[in-house]
Amino acid sequence: MSFLQATGANGKTTETSRNKILNYKSFIHQLTSEKIIASDAEELNKLAAAKFVSLARDAIKNKGRFSVALAGGSTPKGLYKLLATDKFCALLDWTKIYFFFGDERNVLPFDAESNFRMANENLLQPLKIGAGNIFRWQTELQNAETIAEKYEQTLKNFFNLRENEFPRFDLILLGMGEDGHTASLFPFTEALNEKNKIAVADRVEKLNTTRLTLSFPLINNAANIMFLVSGENKAEVLRAVLLGETEPEKYPSQNVKPKNGNLFWLLDEQAAQLLA
């Protein structure tokens, strides 16, 4: 069912199209933890957008706000663009949504490599999200340790945390690299075993750089975690991560196990082709 055809002739979100999107959402809403295989990247984005809307509406209804950590890389770009379209932007009170970033490259915020820049251009600016609702890694500070400490403090303030408490995001979006890394938690790196910090600087020798990333204790404390994995180049590693031996140092994505939350794997057929 391609629910986006449910829009009116003028492309605007008519009552019937809204109901169709909401009906579609009720299907998505029922899913608690699941591997969902979409026919292609476009369908993957629709499913992810419907789930985003469903989770955001629930959190705003129950708590008055929705906190989300965005993923970087290229895969979520289609989702961000879709959420910024009329069809979706009308479904949420975006002033009640607070945006964070699961990880960042140690580059300035308007660098082509910046995860903030990608999300800003495709989601935050088109939706005119207010600066008070956006919490990015302050990479202009340059020193990776300092950037991580600052972000940790920002998270502690926003979530009003007590000592040794971890933030509980309503939703954390994650991607997965061809080496099985997620966020910027790379194979055989120190940050994989971080037990106390919320935000860390992760030295990645093979990239000859230091990345900035939220830690696994934070990720696994989320209410909902949604992996978006698309493309045949991810098929091998996805099979290893989901069906292979448990090797969490080699495949960091295997460490994603929410303590008390839902885990969704949103995949396209190309990525999932070796799972059968």
Round to whole Å and give the CA distance between 40 and 268. 5
Shorter beta-carbon distance to ligand 6PG: residue 4 or 176: 176
Which range touches ligand 6PG (CB under 6 A), out of 58-66, 134-142, 164-172, 175-183? 175-183
Shorter beta-carbon distance to ligand 6PG: residue 60 or 124: 124
Round to whole Å and give the CA distance between 203 and 60. 37
Contact, 234 vs 131, CB < 8 A? Answer: no
In the complex, the smallest distance separating the C-beta of residue 57 from ligand 6PG, rounded to whole angstroms, is 25
In the complex, the smallest distance separating the C-beta of residue 169 from ligand 6PG, rounded to whole angstroms, is 15
Q: Write down the H helix ranges in the chain.
A: 15-30, 41-63, 77-83, 86-89, 115-119, 144-158, 216-219, 235-243, 269-272
Contact, 247 vs 254, CB < 8 A? Answer: yes
| CA distances (Å), origin 50, targets 45, 47, 89, 169, 266 | 8, 5, 12, 18, 12
Per-residue x/- marks for ligand 6PG, 179-198, CB under 6 A?
--xxxx--------------
- The answer to whether 175 contacts ligand 6PG (rule: CB under 6 A) is yes
Shorter beta-carbon distance to ligand 6PG: residue 103 or 152: 103
* Of 7, 13, 17, 75, the one binding ligand 6PG by CB under 6 A: 75
Q: What does the binding site for ligand 6PG look like in residue numbers (CB under 6 A)?
A: 71-75, 103, 105, 115, 175-177, 181-184
